[in-house]
Amino acid sequence: MAKIKPSKGAPYARILGVGGYRPTRVVPNEVILETIDSSDEWIRSRSGIETRHWASDEETVTAMSLEASGKALADAGISAEQIGGVIVSTVSHFKQTPAVATEIADRLGTDKAAAFDISAGCAGFGYGLTLAKGMIVEGSAEYVLVIGVERLSDLTDLEDRATAFLFGDGAGAVVVGPSQEPAIGPTVWGSEGDKSDTIKQTVPWTDYRDGTVDKFPAITQEGQAVFRWAVFEMAKVAQQALDAAGIASDDLDVFIPHQANVRIIDSMVKTLKLPEHVTVARDIRTTGNTSAASIPLAMERLLATGEAKSGDTALVIGFGAGLVYAATVVTLP
């Protein structure tokens, strides 16, 4: 029996650079209030959101991804030709095939990098990061680009009082590469498909195509059910990720949760008993919920403003439609 030659990858992987792109149009709550019966105070108290960014026709999923990726490559000091894999997490690229990752890989100038899309909602960045880590350690790529990108304004029902104010657009990207020491911890991830109806697309695309419904599909959710699940279950997952990495909450420098709701973030901080010295990302206030893009966008902003610094130890956790989740501890680039 022939023996397969073992893979020769790096001993570990790490995030080497991060980049983000927010569309130029800033949308305040007042614009949302034109189509729903609510108030600025209610939106801020329920979600923490003050403004969000909405993409123009030119700010496509591809265009935003290219902008974020270019910044991440520059931050990492890596050329596009060195990228061996491009992973894009998105639920708002409306071509079923081909994967938008292939177009991004080509337009960036990679040397025929492996490229594919994943659909893991708001946990998509964590899923992509885990896959990239595996590719590098396994040896199938030396550097991998992980992109979270969304144009959720295309999937927002502006007359739905429960969701009209939540979503924003944007792209975040990281370059993952080899490391001689652990810098991306074990991932605690999973799914609870029995709760999949709590966050979903209103109807299948085929219903709209066939004229069964007149309204374009949108994202809807059962807000209270999602809130309870995120507050009570995701704090447990976050703690499991800390334990898996051998990190105590006192050892953390930064906490970067998915930017779904400020009240969820604050509740997780309290449940995890994070010390006051831990910097907590609350990028949602001015960016809204950008699903797969929210964690890398928040990471980039914290590093750009100096609220976090290179080498800090950060806990990241994403959670959302599916219901799916992914949490890990990383060293910031």
Q: Is 53 among the catalytic positions?
A: no
Active-site residue among 29, 53, 93, 289? 289
Distances (CA, A) of 48 to 150, 228, 230: 20, 17, 16
Residue 143 CA to residue 187 CA, distance in Å, equals 19
Question: Shortest CA distance to 316 belongs to which of 325, 300, 297, 329?
Answer: 329
Q: Is 93 among the catalytic positions?
A: no
Measure the CA dihedral 234/300/45/276, to 10°: 70
Number of H helices, E strands in the chain: 10, 14
How many of the other CB atoms lie within 10 Å of CB of 149? 36
Q: Which residues pair with 109 in a beta bridge?
A: none
Active-site residue among 93, 258, 261, 277? 258
Q: Is the dihedral of CA 64, 65, 70, 74 positive or negative?
A: positive
The position carrying tokens 């800090």 is: 312
Active-site residue among 29, 53, 122, 261? 122
Q: Which residues pair with 177 in a beta bridge?
A: 14
Q: Is 277 among the catalytic positions?
A: no
Q: What is the 3-state secondary structure (H, E, C) of 150-193?
A: EEHHHHCCCCCCCCCCCECEEEEEEEEEEECCCCECCCEEEECH
Residue 17 CA to residue 40 CA, distance in Å, equals 36
Residues with catalytic annotation? 122, 258, 289
